[in-house]
Structure 1
């Protein structure tokens, strides 16, 4: 999977330009997921503050100015969230850690990469000391960690995370999860009618959850959107380059944003270049890209990851104003209430930037329900993964297997559709976490952890070193004051992301 932000790794989230970490350069890594968040030389020199972003998306005046996202839950499926200044513990929930770092107690739930913390800041920061405030600081943010310090994550971990969110969306009745932010995407180009990842996000959508996905950071000429951004049902977000100004007359499509030559096109654009959000001190991106630091607490990054987080926050504002709104309505309001981006490719294609007041104005109009075909979920996981794969002892994860073992997609789709893929902390028969909200961490509430079984991950000739993940493959992998060492899990595609 790829982060579509400002770093490179096995997962790519959003659109970001950044030098690939050693693992990515080596061509090993996570299952076709991109984290899209940070851009380097391609980004405008002038950083854009979150206050400026709020102005750019039309959320600082009129009816939108009073909205904070209060009463709305947002699920962030990403690299975890660090306990940094600006993220109030009472507003953060740690769901199960499904990452390969979950088996190390000193890494569990924490953002060793820095991507998830940056996304969380865009959405929910509320730092009374520095004045840094996210676009929806009143939301309850649930972090489901899937990515590691070098980005490694398989598409099956993301699927398991989406399944968990759907089943537990109403655990907090005061803040039900109504939005999923996916600032990542796989490099796969699966058939829409049977894609497992598409099935997962469509089930979330049908359960009343707005799914926001980053388009990808491979460039305007790439020819396809990241997966699941390519799914017709959900909201696909590209990034605008705002040129460091509050005027819209100079806005254009960010050059790193994926465009498709066929099929679904981007639904909306949002600011995604040199966005200032929270710094995760000592994380991979923080230590690798010190030039992206702004003061002691902020960090700038570019990518469709950031643009997706901006849009997730906007969706939360709309849901606060209209709690009974359906995902189809939120999508329609955002699209129809958007404003023209007047330059270059965006103008030619008619791509428009989100505007919260514009969306609120559309909320009184009739919305036609979407009628796209639905995925059966029975397709191959490899088609969902694409070319990016988690590597274990030089063996790529492939076939109908998850990180934890065999995963026939027909069986999974039936249980996911019925809402029974998870039973406590057991997903599809594999013990991945504890059985409830009894874990401990810095956050206000935490799902319990569990030890994964010592079984062959995806090759009969390879096994975990031991159930505690110690020994050769995990020794030295701890979160110290400034670095993570002993990386044995490599990642393939946290590329096209960058910190500047």
Structure 2
């Protein structure tokens, strides 16, 4: 079974290491139908050795090895061979690999609305630069875009060896978080922050859980460098636990390593409790509001799409799992090919908060992910309406950071 994950605008892209990506282990084609699975191994097991053994004995075509956020591998093999893996005492759990998909729409002028021009980096004054590293787990990033400080990355999507963006969504997300303050194009919430392109979604904006796990695994291995990770992607799923041997456990281990994860709530207009990774406690989950004029008051006229100023976006997920809200309608940002575009989605709201997390960490080095979340929530503003649930999440406000 394959389950789609979407960008919020959800987009999933895979990432290959600039150096050190786990190569497929001499995959052999299996006749007939195949199952894509993620295999979690018991502590102490060597993923490379077990995967090689399963290649020989069961015809597994291995696509990813996981050594940091998870111990295991991903592979394709016949349904019968997949079922037989449970007989191996080294195997903890065999899970179906799920598909994810982006659901990007459009984006508004959010930098002004969240007060980024009043933060210590003063976005828009032509001098701001933030000394923090942000990983963007998405469709990749246009590394040649003059408005972005892309310093490296990895590709986790099969059939491609580059982290460059073939869709546009990942480049858009990157610009919202950290476009340079260089008097051209746009400026991000954390201008000039170093960007790492972790490609976990393909050119169509879709991807698999195995690719996302590859990205999380890579970020965890580089936790000494990367402080913030943005995931503007998601799909339906259960909350799991920090011992589920799957994506929740990988996120738990990565946050324990010190990486702050910011994720989109989703674009289904539903309770985010049914969506992953939005429902995970360890991440900062972000919903989207419509803001057409960069100011409170609810008087801005609609721009790229119909809506009401300073209200929850009609597509945005909501609920108790949401920590913050941020602009996510008609947001203009960078685009692949050196250009710019306006799109909407909770995918656009999330990187506003990722940029805010970078701002906070620039002046509070070593703060834990929980401390980052608490700080951003405590400084938020109540100046928006239309929350369908009892808890009114604050609107991001970085003016005091």
Give the TM-score normalised by structure 1: 0.55
* 8 A contact 1:34–1:216 mirrored in 2: no
Is 2:279 aligned against 1:230? yes
The superposition leaves residues 308-336 of structure 1 with CA deviations (integer Å, 9 ceiling, x where unpaired) of: 11110010011112113221111001111
Q: Indicate the residue corresponding to 1:210 in structure 2.
A: 260
Cα shift readout 1:441-468 (whole Å, capped 9, x = no counterpart): xxxxxxxxxxxxxxxxxxxxxxxxxxxx
Are 2:150 and 1:92 equivalent residues in the alignment? Answer: yes
1:34 offset after TM fit, Å?
Answer: 4.0
The answer as to whether partners of 2:287 and 2:350 remain within 8 angstroms in 1 is yes
The answer for the alignment partner of 1:390 in structure 2 is none
**1:118 correspondence with 2:172:** yes
The residue that corresponds to 2:386 in the other structure is 344
1:101 is displaced (CA, Å) by: 3.6
Which among 228, 241, 248 is matched to residue 290 of structure 2? 241
Does residue 70 in structure 1 map to residue 155 in structure 2?
Answer: no
User: Could you list the per-position Cα deviations for residues 333-387 of structure 1 after superposition, in whole angstroms to 9, with x for gaps in the alignment?
Assistant: 11111110342226853121011135x4xxxxxxxxxxxxxxxxxxxxxxxxxxx
CA distance in 2, matches of 1:78, 1:240: 22
Partner of 1:4: 7
SS at match of 2:318: coil
Aligned mate of 2:372, from 322, 326, 330? 330
Q: Which moved more, 1:159-168 or 1:118-127?
A: 118-127
Over 3 Å counting, the alpha-carbon distance change for 1:247 and 1:127 in structure 2 is: closer
Q: Give distance in 1, aligned partners of 2:166 and 2:131.
A: 29
SS of residue in 2 equivalent to 1:143: strand
Cα distance change on mapping 1:248 and 1:209 into 2, 3 Å: same
Q: Which residue of 2 aligns with 1:37?
A: 104
2:207 equivalent in structure 1: 153
1:275 aligns with: 331
Which residue is equivalent to 2:230? 181
Spell out, residue by residue over 1:83-103, the C-alpha distance to the aligned partner (whole angstroms, 9 max, x if none).
Answer: 453334xx3133221112425
Aligned to 2:74: none
Query: Which stretches in structure 1 are left out of the alignment for 5+ residues?
Result: 12-29, 40-46, 171-175, 282-295, 361-500
Query: Contact 1:5 / 1:301 at 8 angstroms: preserved in 2?
Result: no
TM superposition shift of 1:2:
2.7
Q: Is the 8 A contact 1:73 1:178 kept in 2?
A: yes
Tell me which residue corresponds to 2:118: 61
Alignment check: 8 A CA contact 1:341 1:351 kept: no
Question: Contact 2:179 / 2:192 at 8 angstroms: preserved in 1?
Answer: no
Q: Name the CA shift for 1:223/1:81 in 2 (closer, same or farther; >3 Å).
A: closer
* Paired position in structure 1 for 2:45: none
* Distance in 1, Cα, partners of 2:347 & 2:367: 25
SS, match of residue 75 in structure 1: strand
Contact kept in structure 1, 2:9 and 2:233, CA below 8 Å = no
Shift of 1:131: 4.0
Kindly provide the CA deviation profile for residues 268-296 of structure 1, in whole angstroms up to 9, marking residues without a partner as x: 00111110011224xxxxxxxxxxxxxx8
Tell me which residue corresponds to 1:257. 316
| Structure 2 contact 272–279 (Cα < 8 Å) conserved | no
What pairs with 1:413-424 in structure 2 (closer than 5 Å)? none
State TM-score, norm by structure 2.
0.68
Distance 2:160 2:150 in 1: 18
Distance 1:70 1:151 in 2: 29
Q: C-alpha distance in 1, partners of 2:287/2:153?
A: 27
SS in 1 for 2:362: helix
Residue by residue over 1:386-438, the C-alpha shift from the partner in whole angstroms, topping out at 9 and shown as x without a partner, is xxxxxxxxxxxxxxxxxxxxxxxxxxxxxxxxxxxxxxxxxxxxxxxxxxxxx
Give 3-state SS (helix, strand or coil) of 1:212's partner. strand
Q: Distance in 1 between matches of 2:209 and 2:263?
A: 14
Select the structure with the greater relative contact order (CA < 8 A; seq sep ≥ 6). 1
Task: State whether residues 98 and 144 of structure 1, in contact with CA within 8 Å, keep that contact through their aligned partners in structure 2.
Answer: yes
Instruction: Name the SS for the 1:81 alignment partner.
Output: coil
Q: 1:322 to 1:120 in 2, by over 3 A?
A: same
Structure 2: gaps spanning 5 or more residues: 14-96, 299-309
Instruction: Give yes or no for the alignment of 1:132 onto 2:186.
Output: yes
- Which residue of 1 is the match for residue 20 of structure 2? none
Q: Is the 8 A contact 1:85 1:127 kept in 2?
A: no
